[in-house]
Amino acid sequence: MDNETIKSGIIKIRTGLGYSQQRMAEELGMSRSTYVNIEKGQTQFVNENLSRIAELGDISTEELVLGYKPVSQEELSSLKQENERYASGRESIVRGYQEEISSLKERVSDLEALVRSLQDTVAAQKEMMAMYKKMRNFEA
């Protein structure tokens, strides 16, 4: 239980209702000074006070203590199903990308082989030109 979360939750409820500290204390059946001490975190909370404050704010005690609305089992189940659906879709996308990457790697390999072949052709042509020049120089 985080005291700061509870304090800010209590203040949020009071201000959301548009209540003064005095009015909030009256609604809770306590003195203003007791309520102020609760808001400041200078007093230990009694579950009954937390329940009554939460009730005034139309939230659960758990939501007041945690600072957020807890997820129900039904919501959790729905989130798990949605997560599984996304995971399945994600796996399909990853497989598609892996296949595309594999295909591109194969294409790159083919192009590298073509470049090597063309380099060999150019080297052979240069060698032939050099031999042709030697023959011409020899005949002259």
> Band of the pLDDT at 39, cuts 50, 70, 90?
confident
Domain contains 111: no
**pLDDT at residue 51, rounded to an integer:** 82
Altogether, the residues listed in the chain come to a count of: 140
Long-range contacts of 17-20 (CB under 8 A, 24+ apart): 17/56, 17/57
**pLDDT at residue 44, rounded to an integer:** 65
CA distance 107 to 102: 9
CATH number at residue 28: 1.10.260.40
Quote the domain boundaries for residue 36: 3-66
Domain contains 108: no
CB neighbours of 113 closer than 8 A, spacing ≥ 6? none
Lowest mean pLDDT among 9-23, 28-42, 71-85, 93-107: 28-42
pTM for the structure as a whole: 0.41
pLDDT in tens, 46-72: 666 788 888 888 988 888 877 788 888
What domain count does the chain have? 1
Find out whether 26 and 12 touch, Cβ atoms under 8 Å.
no
